[in-house]
């Protein structure tokens, strides 16, 4: 099963990088990434068979946006709440469309960033359908026609 998934990912990866030359990977065999327009949205295709549209902010940027002295006094949960406040205007614009289109919303938080993440399961054996989904994301979120 893992071998089949690995070969499906390899084939999909090749098809996607040919169709979307702007896609890149941060680590060999890892997710493929591309920016969706200039608003900060990222599109990611992950080897486990998901497409992710995400909008996030770096924790250091959040700390800079928050008033001086306050951020150091806040715990991680409080900082995360502040981050969600900063992310909501951009996310709320696309949330209904993404959810209606089969994406599932979650929030990812690390020491480096917080992101609102919309995930859609894909069939890695159907590159044409995955490409159609990526083009749809580009049109809807990235504004590309």
- Across residues 11-26, what is the average pLDDT? 93
Whole-model pTM?
Answer: 0.83
User: Span 2-140: which CATH code?
Assistant: 3.30.1460
pLDDT tens sequence across 56-107: 888 777 777 665 555 456 666 676 677 777 788 889 999 999 999 999 999 8
Domain residue ranges of the chain, discontinuous segments joined by +: 2-140
pLDDT tens sequence across 101-142: 999 999 888 888 888 999 999 999 999 999 999 999 999 998
SS3 per residue for 95-141: HHHHHHCCCEEEEEECCCEEEEEEEEECCCCCHHHHHHHHHHHHHHC
Q: How far apart are CA 137 and CA 39, in angstroms?
A: 13
């Amino acid at each position: 099963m893992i071998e089949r998934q690995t070969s499906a990912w390899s084939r999909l990866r090749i098809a996607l990088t040919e169709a979307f030359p702007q896609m890149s990977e941060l680590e060999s065999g890892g997710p493929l990434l591309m920016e969706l327009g200039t608003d900060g949205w990222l599109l990611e295709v992950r080897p486990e068979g998901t497409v992710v549209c995400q909008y996030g902010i770096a924790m250091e940027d959040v700390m800079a946006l928050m008033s001086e002295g306050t951020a150091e006094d806040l715990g991680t949960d409080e900082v995360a709440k502040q981050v969600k406040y900063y992310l909501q205007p951009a996310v709320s614009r696309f949330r209904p469309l993404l959810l209606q289109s089969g994406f599932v919303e979650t929030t990812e938080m690390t020491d480096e960033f917080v992101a609102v993440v919309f995930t859609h399961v894909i069939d890695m054996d159907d590159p044409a359908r995955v490409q159609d989904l990526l083009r749809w994301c580009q049109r809807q979120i990235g504004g590309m026609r």
